[in-house]
Structure 1
Amino acid sequence: MKRAVLFDLDGVLVDSRAAQLATLAGFATSALDRRVTIDDLPPGAETIPREQVLAHLGLDRSIDENGWDAASATATLAAKVFPFVVETLTELRAADVATGVVTLRSRRCLHWLLPPDVIDLLDTVVCYEDATPKPAPDGLLLALDRLGAAPSNAVFIGDTDTDIHAARAAGVTAVGAGWGFAGPHALTRTGADLVLSEPLDLSSALLRLVGGPQLNGFPGDLDS
């Protein structure tokens, strides 16, 4: 049976906290026709669904995706792929583990955040327009269907409660990325099967999870 590791994008593979906050402020400035700064955003805005953040600021209509992408285009210039990403994806591929990304970003934004050499190491990418967004499980299930992997042989690593809820709804082992937006304690409270405080030796930890019958047997926290 094919094994698979799926990743969230922002905060997990890409250091984009500042970019996400700048996107929210920039989009709100344009949509509300008044200046909105990062200081005007609610606490923890990077971990809250964008619809809730923008409603808090006064937006009373649906988000214009073209406008959102335009705000992202400049903000994401500050985002950087984490140093461990290429090595981790390369080692998973060498171990015959399929990999994919399930993200709330549009496909247009993908190339602003990930360089071609990283995209080439991924077996599939599910974006906002491909499936009902997280916390619904649809994106994870679509990725696994493309990869030919069952949920019982898969891991999803994310950094917010939305990611953990999506993984559990999909029947996938939920791994919290403690270096991301929400932090390890929040991910533990949300119910992640495993929380990794740091990405050191990440591929080894993930290979242990998909390597045998212990797949669902790692509750709690692992400082790796």
Structure 2
Amino acid sequence: MVGTVIFDMDGTLLDTLTDLHESVNALLAELSLPPRDVETVRDALGYGAVYMLKCSMPSGTTDEEAERLLPRYKEIYAVRMKNHTAPYAGVLDMLKDVKAAGFATAVVTNKLDAAAQALCAEVFGGLIDAAEGDRPDVARKPAPDHVYNVLKRLNMEGEPGFFVGDSDADIQIAKNAGLTSIGVSWGYQPVRVLLAEGADYIIDKPGELLNILNSG
């Protein structure tokens, strides 16, 4: 392998927003709370399910209160997460090209680990070599722990590495792990946020990624 390309999932490889939004509103309905608009859920993505739930609950909700809702949210999302979720146009071809060029591939996401593993297996199969989602024993993005884990599993420590994502947390984790950061313009956070965090590159289409990898 000539290097490793690590991808975020939500907003980078997969458009998951509709299923996330509907799952949050299903939970709120069970609690007799009003639904949230899609923008509220979108703006809360990137820092894990508890943060998303806290932002979707009434003002003043604590982290502990949001944490208590997590088990039920997991149940709701597990049966809804494949209803509308799909790869962005060009993503599957991009992954095939990256693999053909000799790069190892991985996913590091703050999405719940069980959901991340299930979606990777079903949607991407052998196009992703390793995946890690949010779980209690590992610090979530932007801490670099998950990156170190996948690099060790792939035996790619010390080799060239890239992190591709759509959020400030993705650019931050790239910096924290010593990787080249590549922001995508089709995701859930605006490009200005990625540039403000110091993204090394911005791509507007999945097909543009390989040129950056080859030039690096």
1:149 to partner: Cα distance: 2.0
Q: Which residues of structure 1 form unaligned runs of 5+?
A: 210-224
Instruction: Please list the CA deviations of residues 19-61 of structure 1 after superposition, one character each: whole Å capped at 9, or x if unmatched.
Output: 232233333444xx12331328748534363434433424432
Structure 2: distance between partners of 1:29 and 1:115: 31
Q: Please say if 1:122 is aligned against 2:131.
A: no
Structure 2: distance between partners of 1:155 and 1:164: 10
Q: Please say if 1:198 is aligned against 2:205.
A: yes
Q: Please say if 1:69 is aligned against 2:67.
A: no
Residues 149 and 36 (structure 1), Cα distance of their counterparts in 2 relative to 1, 3 Å cut: farther
Corresponding residue of 2:20: 20
Corresponding residue of 2:109: 103
Work out whether residues 177 and 183 of structure 1, in 8 Å CA contact, stay in contact via their aligned partners in 2. no
User: Which of the numbers 78, 81, 84 marks the counterpart of 2:87?
Assistant: 81
Structure 1 runs (4+) greater than 4 angstroms displaced: none
Please state whether the residue corresponding to 1:127 is helix, strand or coil.
strand
CA-atom RMSD in angstroms: 2.6
Structure 1: distance between partners of 2:99 and 2:90: 14
1:143 to partner: Cα distance: 1.1
Corresponding residue of 1:207: 214
- Correspondence list, 1:139-154, <5 A: 139-150=146-157, 153-154=160-161
Please report the TM-score for the alignment, with normalisation by the length of structure 2.
0.82
Corresponding residue of 2:190: 183
Corresponding residue of 1:51: 50
Larger RCO (CA under 8 A, 6+ residues apart): 2
Aligned length: 207
Code of the residue aligned with 1:26 in structure 2: it is A
Please state whether the residue corresponding to 1:149 is helix, strand or coil.
coil
- Greater alpha carbon shift after TM alignment, 189-198 vs 146-155: 146-155
Work out whether residues 77 and 112 of structure 1, in 8 Å CA contact, stay in contact via their aligned partners in 2. no
1:71 to partner: Cα distance: 2.5
Corresponding residue of 1:39: 37
Corresponding residue of 1:217: none
Residues 195 and 201 (structure 1), Cα distance of their counterparts in 2 relative to 1, 3 Å cut: closer
Work out whether residues 11 and 187 of structure 2, in 8 Å CA contact, stay in contact via their aligned partners in 1. yes
- Greater alpha carbon shift after TM alignment, 155-164 vs 114-123: 114-123
Structure 2: distance between partners of 1:47 and 1:99: 23
Please report the TM-score for the alignment, with normalisation by the length of structure 1.
0.79
